[in-house]
Amino acid sequence: MQLMEEMILTHGKVLPGNILKVGSFLNQQIDTRLLRKCGEEILRLFSGCGITKVLTIEASGIALATATGLELDVPVIFAKKHITSNVDGDVYSTTVHSFTHNTDYSVVVSRDYLLPTDKVLLVDDFLANGAALRGLVALCAQANAQVVGAAIAIEKCFQGGGDALRASGLRVESLAEIESMEAGNIIFRS
């Protein structure tokens, strides 16, 4: 998606540790014009797939998931990172490793919201090693829900998670695919 690539080149900052900072338009401050275009593009990519739910992990994927759900006209579900007092006991749960924070965390979603009849589109802002996305796939497997595919704003291809998931049979559509960003020089997959 050309607009996403342009925004990354214009406003993204490459920080040490292969971190791409897109806080000015994607995950601290959201450019709603860009976000609407992302939702429209995801609708185009997955139209006719019979999607019934959008599933993301809090917190940074919520905005894109919301825009996608508004475009597809289906409910959006947030898998939560902690069991809070507002979550009933009856949940699907899996463990995800965060490479950013070097820690494991639990991801839970209520059994009431993810059903065997659901056709689920996974949405997240970033795809790097794929740990978060594998966690969402695991939650859907527990629910016997069908995963239609995954829609990602920015894939860091060089970290391999996206291609591994594609090799496993998951349809992964990333709006911008970064092949490398060595020395701060961002190269997109052609």
Pairing type for strands 53-57 and 76-79 reads parallel
- Can you tell me which of 6, 104, 112, 182 binds a copy of itself, judged by CB under 8 A? 112
Q: Which is nearer to a copy of itself, 15 or 166 (CB)?
A: 15
| Least Cβ distance, residue 118 to a copy of itself (angstroms) | 11
Amino acid at 103: T
Q: Answer whether 172's CB lies under 8 Å from 144's CB.
A: no
Q: Which residues contact 30 (CB under 8 A, 6 or more apart)?
A: 63
- Can you tell me which of 31, 129, 186, 188 binds a copy of itself, judged by CB under 8 A? 31
Residue 160, both tokens: 């391999």
Q: Which residues contact 116 (CB under 8 A, 6 or more apart)?
A: 143, 144, 145
- Can you tell me which of 48, 89, 90, 101 binds a copy of itself, judged by CB under 8 A? 101
The yes or no reply on residue 24 touching a copy of itself (CB under 8 A) is yes
Closest CA to 88 of 109, 118, 114: 109
In our burial notation (b when 16+ CB lie closer than 10 A, e otherwise), range 80-98 reads beeeeeeeeeebbebebee
| Binders in 149-178 for a copy of itself, by CB under 8 A | none
Taking residues 62 to 91 in sequence order and writing x for each that binds a copy of itself by CB under 8 A, - otherwise, the string is: xx--xx-xx--xxxxxx-x---xxxxx---
| Least Cβ distance, residue 167 to a copy of itself (angstroms) | 28
Residue 134, both tokens: 């594998």
Binding stretches for a copy of itself (CB under 8 A):
15, 17, 19, 21, 23-24, 27-33, 35-36, 58-59, 62-63, 66-67, 69-70, 73-78, 80, 84-88, 100-101, 109-110, 112-113
